[in-house]
Amino acid sequence: MQLQDILYSQGFGTRRVCAGLIQQGLVKVYESGRETVPVPCVLATAEFVAAGLRFRVQGVDWPYAEKAYLMLNKPNATECSQKPSTYPSIYTLLPSPLRLRPQKGAVQGVQAIGRLDQDTTGLLLLTDDGKFIHRMSSPRHHVPKVYEVTVKHPLDTRQISQLLAGVVLDDDPKPVRAAACEAVSEFHLRLTLTEGKYHQVKRMVAAISNRVEALHRSQIGALRLPDDLAPGQWCWLGEADLASIAGVPAAVC
């Protein structure tokens, strides 16, 4: 695969822009056997095996990824929208190549899988793999999601039992149950859900006569948000990460 095509596929601009970056000496490639020292390449049509390739563009290292799979620690006061109404978009936290990755001839970039409210923080997955988005978003797969909930009023065993038994929300007569629920402390509830109804955590907590003061998603499937990933930071997901999400085979990446 030509180097200019590799850069184009990774979101570094049109093929002409990518060729210009290479010709200006702004691209270096980690060649086999010299993985610690990137080698400058000024020939846009130079051929490389894309799979497993690492390269440096304008001083920043990048791995070649046929499809991008990311984890973002969503900070407070951000919106999961390309066109936010009040708060900054989470997409502004990502470097431009991830936002400009082409797909089927159009600029698509990575997309958030589901949304978190502007005042909800924590684990958010993003990808440009449409099949992966569909799989993770489908209610048929029941991927468990763990939330750390700070509540206004002290928790008691009755409230925990109610959440496990099921509470009725105002738009559905069928009870909604927590897959798991525990009081970590007097005002800290750890809630596991396998559904994704609108404002579900807040409405479930309201149904037990309490109120959500802060909400943080800490886990999806067996994939936990790392302690060292600060709010606003992102990282690549590897095969082991994807395999830790319930129902997603490692071969997906």
pLDDT for the residue 201: 96
The pLDDT-based confidence of 111 (bands split at 50, 70, 90) is very high
Across the range 173-199, mean pLDDT stands at 94
Which residue would you say has higher pLDDT here, 246 or 148?
Answer: 148
pLDDT for the residue 171: 75
CA torsion through residues 203, 189, 186, 158, sign = positive
| Radius of gyration, CA atoms only, the chain | 22
What are the structural domains, with CATH classification, of the chain? Answer: 3-63 (3.10.290.10), 69-140+223-252 (3.30.70.580), 145-220 (3.30.70.1560)
- Looking only at the bridges linking them, the beta strands covering 54-57 and 27-30 are antiparallel
The pLDDT-based confidence of 251 (bands split at 50, 70, 90) is very low
pLDDT for the residue 34: 64
Across the range 17-41, mean pLDDT stands at 91
pLDDT for the residue 197: 85
Across the range 85-113, mean pLDDT stands at 90
Burial 206-226 (b: 16+ CB within 10 A, else e): ebbebebeebbbebbbebebe
Residue 157, Cβ density class (10 Å: 0-12 exposed, 13-18 middle, ≥19 buried): exposed
Q: What angle do CA 155, 116, 198 make, to 5 degrees?
A: 75
Catalytic residue among 117, 119, 156, 170: 117
CB atoms within 10 A of CB 113: 21
Across the range 220-235, mean pLDDT stands at 97
Across the range 221-246, mean pLDDT stands at 94
Return the minimum-mean-pLDDT range out of 20-24, 78-82, 227-231, 243-247: 243-247
The pLDDT-based confidence of 84 (bands split at 50, 70, 90) is very high
Catalytic-residue membership of 117: yes
Residue 252 has pLDDT above 50, yes or no: no
Return the minimum-mean-pLDDT range out of 35-49, 120-134, 155-169, 236-250: 236-250
The pLDDT-based confidence of 250 (bands split at 50, 70, 90) is very low
